[in-house]
Chain A
Amino acid sequence: MIRLSIPLRQVLARLSLPIMIAFAFGVMLLGKADTLLVERMRSTLSDALAPIYAAISQPVNAVEEAVAEIRGLATLRSDNARLREENERLRRWHAAALGLESENALLRRQLGFMPEGAPNFHAARVVADGGGTYARAVLLSIPPQHGIRKGQVALDERGFVGRVTEVGSRSARVLLATDMNSRVPVTLEGSRARAVMAGTNGARPRLAHWPEGVIPQEGERVVTSAQANAFPAGLPVGVVRRNAQGSLEVELFARLDHLEMVRLFDFGLSGILPPEAVARPEPRASRR
């Protein structure tokens, strides 16, 4: 150890606090001047400490899990009671549904109602977004021998996506419901009022032309309407939302921002088609 005289030591001891405070201000200036250096030092320190934290996080996690487990056990009783009550209620609904089903079958038999056959469809993979004449359209890859026609309806696993506007030998283009050129006749499920869903190129199409005296409710379900014979009735489209400006929009069920697969349904409809095809849609290839 270095041996210093006692007065020198005393002076050093007395000066060390002011010197350290001066150093602290120096460090402060350094931190303000060279942010990059400070960041690098900080990350070096965290790298060095990471194994320690990893090691202590295991028992901490174990304790947290145990606490969560105990809490879960404590609420087990009330959960059980709640689930039993819910089960009871659902059972009643189940019975009601069975009753309604049989009643429905009976009424159908009496009316001579002809059920619609399940529409046939092709699933196709989305290979490109945008492009072409429209701002919101997707390109589908389809096999060469296909039965896809203009005007077919595209749905994803959640709801309405758009309509086929161009068909090539190996590809087809679908105009999405959000495109500015898209107009879809819809029905508001609560009030059964008809309206038009008009695309705006934004994420949510606008709702327009609902009849006087009907106010679309926030959260009301919107389904397609059979008006104009372009779509079958009742395909799920979305729910009504009021935007910040107070106008009504439709939040689509379909996830148009990341489409991967769509199903193209052939409902055998020959309603309004895009202008160049107004003349006459070609007949369906195979009719049941």
Chain B
Amino acid sequence: MSRLEISNLRVLFPTDDGLVKATNDVDLGIEEGENLGLIGESGSGKTVLGMAILRLLPKDARVEGVVRFNGRDLLSLREEEMRRVRGREIVMILQNPTSALNPVLTVGSQIEEVLRLHKGVDKRSARKRVVELLKMVRIRDASKRVRDYPHQFSGGMKERAMIAMALASDPTLIIADEPTKGLDVTVKREILKLLKEVTERKSMLFITHDLASAAEICERIAVMYAGEILEVAKTEDLLDDPLHPYTEGFLNSLPSRGLKPIRGIGPSLIDLPHGCKFHPRCDHATEVCMREHPPMLQIEDGRQVRCFLHA
């Protein structure tokens, strides 16, 4: 069963310079227990998508479409119903743990707050549970460190504490937005390992620009560009045999694959190109790519690609 089913999601921001089309007709599903990677460069709309699911976008954003979570359409819920979903059934792990933790409260009390708010646990058992959670995310001397303040934690430990906080309400879906950004190589590796472990029986939307990280913990990967999903595939398939020219170009520009760049730069979200959004940078573009917008094509076993080359 699909845990989350996004259909025709569109997010628009009115600005002084025009309407910013942050995401366009996104269709995406996450199965129960699945980790889905959402890969994209800056301006691709990946963060907006994550925030749109939880309805955390600024008030002037126009959001259209359906976000079905456990059978309910999140976009049509009333705000107080949404608040019960947020932080309890769906939690978000943000990219900057330093500002996500309140500097004047101890790490323990912040996790405790989540437990008492969403789980209705009394103070004593909450204390115990906090230590358990910190142990679960491998913080050494957890029973002592609960009384520490965020500044006494290193960057990696703060990220661990954020994960513990996310796990506190035992959510069914975790949205992680660049959780490893800014972490050192060795620390990053550990955090990814931990994330993979704790999401064993949960669904996760893992938003990142770092393909290697996503490949490590996600079963499937969706590639986003200029507000659209261009390709969805199993991780191995995507790495071994990318179908969309953008995916291929993205892979080739990785240092480990020879640093072959894609020419040009990403389009302005106000003035998107006609037809395929990628055609101005695409080496395989034909006349039809400039004229028509390619539909999402279903290739064998759940694989999808938005490109005329595979029609």
Judge: A and B partners, yes or no. Answer: no
Residue positions of B touching A, CB distance < 8 A: none
A-side residues, CB < 8 A to B, are none
